[in-house]
Amino acid sequence: MKNRHDIIVARATPAGVGAVAMVRVSGKGVFGLVDCLLKKPVSNAESHTAYFRALWDEEGLVDEALLTVFKAPHGYTGDDTVEISTHGSPYIVDRLIQALCRQGARPADAGEFTLRAFLNGKLDLAQAEAVADLISSESAASHKAALGQLRGGISSEISLLRTRLIDFAALIELELDFSEEDVEFAKRDELIASVTETLDKVSTLLQTFAHGNAVKEGVQVVFAGRPNAGKSTLFNLLLQEERAIVSDIAGTTRDALEDVLMIEGMRYRLIDTAGIREATDTIEKLGIERTYKYMQGSAVVLYVADVSGTKQQELTADLRALSDMATQVWVLGNKTDLVESFDETAWSEAAKAGGAGGFMGISGKNAGDRQRLRDYLHSHTAFKAVLGDQTLITNQRHFHAFLKAENALQRVLEAIETGISKEMLAFDLREALAALGEVTGEITTEDLLGSIFGKFCIGK
């Protein structure tokens, strides 16, 4: 990590031409540095005030700009900061940044402004990560989850529980110092209550990860089924475009095709596949292997069956062959327009017998069925809860830290119950505290910070 006392500079708005571009400069001494480019200084300015100024470098006038001044400990980073809004020309921005660097600033690393905000205690780690999520949020649901976390969602609750456990940990360490005398400073029933409460909270948060991840990455939905069942037809119907090639030749789709569908602020990643069958050539075989891979990684499999060309027993058998897959499978009984009297109940039972979560009859030839399919998908994904006010974990790193904490807390409870050595109890408690501290950033390493902030864009 570079010197955190340097004055750093970067453009904060996207690269390219725009109406306005904003360059952010931050660090101790920044006002004096910026003054070098001005005829009228801003170093005596109050925090949170804006000034219209001409910017000058050695060659002459660079631009007329609006300068916003933030004084420590205010502003985003908590260090003295000036935000300079210029006309949005890449040439002006480059020239301005070069002029600032000649005066002693250096280009900021990715995420370095946010890293400083974290180091200055303006944000905890989970909040800093939420900033990155917020910037990249592409749906109403992911925006809401990121905003919730930025405003202190998990961190505040976890910090509170963690502080209580720290007190107990201190008492137990004390008991270890008095090990000859067999005293108990930490009241065991209170410790159990505190650990249990923390464990409940952690377990609840862990359960939200599947939802949280779906919110952040989108819900992955895979179309599978026998050749010619109509997978591509239904995929196109949902997307309302001829995205995948449809033909009556079995084995039309070979590779997997992916596209995004938004329903009520929720992002669905639809994937059309080559489906499942005995492959006759190598490329087909690769396509089918890929189908299995996608099915395993998805939240939902929409299994398309041709009700005009297959028997109900065949559907049951096909589904049973998939039963070792953890993913939920729903069956779309397609081509109902080709059968004279379609028996939805019998097909539905055949699907359930094969372990499917549900069944719906549909015709890919009927444009009116699009809405039904959309509603079916959205109502069955059961991700509605995420649109409520529940705190969600959306981050892999948090998920793994909570998993570690959960294990350690369970061992703490066992240790108290079985009365095994206090050393073990103290050890497990410390481990749980460390894991919880990893989420909020109360315990960090340089490597961890580097990997988190390195993922940010420059200028943030």
Q: Which stretches of the chain bind ligand GTP, using CB under 6 A? A: 227-233, 246-248, 250-253, 275, 334-335, 337-338, 363-365
Shortest Cβ distance from residue 310 to ligand GTP (Å)?
12
Structure tokens at 397: 């790193």
Shortest Cβ distance from residue 272 to ligand GTP (Å)?
7
**Hey, how many other C-beta atoms are within 10 angstroms of the C-beta on 217?**
13
Shortest Cβ distance from residue 244 to Mg ion (Å)?
6
Shortest Cβ distance from residue 230 to Mg ion (Å)?
8
**Hey, how many other C-beta atoms are within 10 angstroms of the C-beta on 121?**
10
225-264: which residues touch Mg ion (CB under 5 A)?
231-232, 252-253
Shortest Cβ distance from residue 160 to Mg ion (Å)?
53
Query: Cβ distance 62 to 95 under 8 Å?
Result: yes
304-323: which residues touch Mg ion (CB under 5 A)?
none
Q: Is 207 exposed, middle or buried (0-12, 13-18, 19+ CB in 10 A)?
A: exposed
Q: Is 385 exposed, middle or buried (0-12, 13-18, 19+ CB in 10 A)?
A: exposed
Shortest Cβ distance from residue 226 to ligand GTP (Å)?
7
Query: Cβ distance 231 to 224 under 8 Å?
Result: yes
Q: Which is nearer to ligand GTP, 290 or 365 (CB)?
A: 365
Residue 116 binding target from ligand GTP, Mg ion, none, CB below 5 to 8 Å by type: none
Number of residues that bind Mg ion (CB under 5 A): 4
Q: How far apart are CA 323 and CA 287, in angstroms?
A: 21
Measured in residues, the chain has a length of 460
Shortest Cβ distance from residue 336 to ligand GTP (Å)?
7
**Hey, how many other C-beta atoms are within 10 angstroms of the C-beta on 250?**
12
133-136 long-range CB contacts below 8 Å, 24 or more apart?
133/216, 133/394, 133/395, 135/457, 135/460
Q: Which is nearer to ligand GTP, 365 or 374 (CB)?
A: 365
Q: Which is nearer to Mg ion, 17 or 283 (CB)?
A: 283
Can residue 194 be called a binding residue for Mg ion (CB under 5 A)?
no
Can residue 273 be called a binding residue for Mg ion (CB under 5 A)?
no
Q: How far apart are CA 162 and CA 432, in angstroms?
A: 9
Residue 334 binding target from Mg ion, ligand GTP, none, CB below 5 to 8 Å by type: ligand GTP
Q: Which is nearer to ligand GTP, 174 or 245 (CB)?
A: 245
Q: Which is nearer to Mg ion, 252 or 444 (CB)?
A: 252
Q: Which is nearer to ligand GTP, 334 or 395 (CB)?
A: 334
State phi, psi for 291 to the nearest 5 degrees.
Answer: -55, -45
Q: Which is nearer to ligand GTP, 142 or 233 (CB)?
A: 233
Contacts with Mg ion by CB under 5 A lie at: 231-232, 252-253
